[in-house]
Amino acid sequence: EPEVTQTPSHQVTQMGQEVILRCVPISNHLYFYWYRQILGQKVEFLVSFYNNEISEKSEIFDDQFSVERPDGSNFTLKIRSTKLEDSAMYFCASSGGARGSYEQYFGPGTRLTVT
């Protein structure tokens, strides 16, 4: 069964450093998402991406965040200058259909620890 993969599984970085979280969505999916989950809290929408551009973004997704689909398979989330409060689990997801009516398939997550 196809699945979404994410690398690395755990990333430790120092405050102020840039990090890139990588995801490989399911190959025939068209919509891609990033979410974050701070330990013990709710899953928060960050951004959705379609047709090589951002479709929607939340208030959390400020100028320090960016997303890219550099080739036909990878989908990345870059955090330019990490802060302590960026420590969280980051999930990538993909979906095959339009207008939010299709279920999303989530990757296993990357745990980001900012020290």
Q: Among 36, 87, 42, 37, which residue's Cα sits nearest to residue 57?
A: 36
Residue number with CB closer to other proteins (107 or 114): 107
Residue number with CB closer to other proteins (19 or 61): 61
Burial of 111 (0-12, 13-18, 19+ CB in 10 A): middle
Which amino acid type is present at position 46? Answer: L
The minimum distance between CB 108 and other proteins, in angstroms, equals 5
- Binding site residues, other proteins, CB under 8 A: 4, 31, 33, 35, 41-45, 48, 50, 55-56, 58, 91, 93, 98-101, 103-109
Residue number with CB closer to other proteins (3 or 18): 3
The minimum distance between CB 27 and other proteins, in angstroms, equals 17
Which residues, in sequence order, are CB contacts of 87 under 8 Å at separation 6+? 38, 39, 112, 113, 114
